[in-house]
Amino acid sequence: MPQPAHVGACAAGAVRRALVAGAGVDRGRCVESRCVESGYVERFLAAARDGDLAALEETLVADVTSWADGGGRVGTARRPVVGRDRVVRYLVGAVERFSAGLDTAVVEVNGEPAVLASAGGSVLGVLAPEIADGRIRAVRIIANPGKLRFLSGQLSHSGGLAGS
């Protein structure tokens, strides 16, 4: 797992290599495994959207850590959020604060399931969970507009982003 100082660089690389709508390279991982992990991400997303704290807690390991990169221009946590209770409160608060008019979809980013958040044809963020043994052990949120610019362009050219 990358150290927190490297999360932004790793996340930017993941966004640059975004594989959307199933187009991409199978990096040796079983397709069934990716489908199972996508199911975990969909459960996580539904619980966060619905504000279902108990269901959201079930998707996370006890010592989960969330890192966010807003580039100093988007309101995200400036330091890692550690622990299931804190991460749940952080994510539910973010959903309550930012979800109006937001479209979300589970997509494949760098060969792994992730959540793409967009509004009005613009990518606003990517949430990339790290899954182990059926639970999310790390959450990386990329909301830095500079790092999302490439992904937004790729999606608008592929027709993968509504409203573009």
Tens digit of pLDDT for each residue in 123-139? 889 999 999 988 999 99
pLDDT for 78 equals: 84
Given a contact cutoff of 8 angstroms between Cβ atoms, the answer to whether 59 and 52 are in contact is: no
pLDDT for 20 equals: 38
For the chain, list residues with pLDDT below 70.
1-36, 154-164
pLDDT for 35 equals: 67
How much is the CA Rg of the chain, to the nearest whole Å? Answer: 15
pLDDT for 157 equals: 57
Identify the structural domains of the chain with CATH numbers, from first to last.
4-158 (3.10.450.50)
pLDDT for 1 equals: 38
Say whether pTM exceeds 0.75: no
pLDDT for 150 equals: 78
pLDDT for 147 equals: 85
pLDDT for 58 equals: 94
pLDDT for 62 equals: 97
Residue whose tokens read 């975990």: 40
pLDDT for 93 equals: 87
SS (H, E, C) 134-146: CEEEEEEEECCHH
pLDDT for 55 equals: 94
Q: What type of residue is 37?
A: E
pLDDT for 135 equals: 92
- Residue 84 backbone class (left: φ over 0; alpha: ψ -120 to 50; beta: rest): alpha
pLDDT for 16 equals: 40
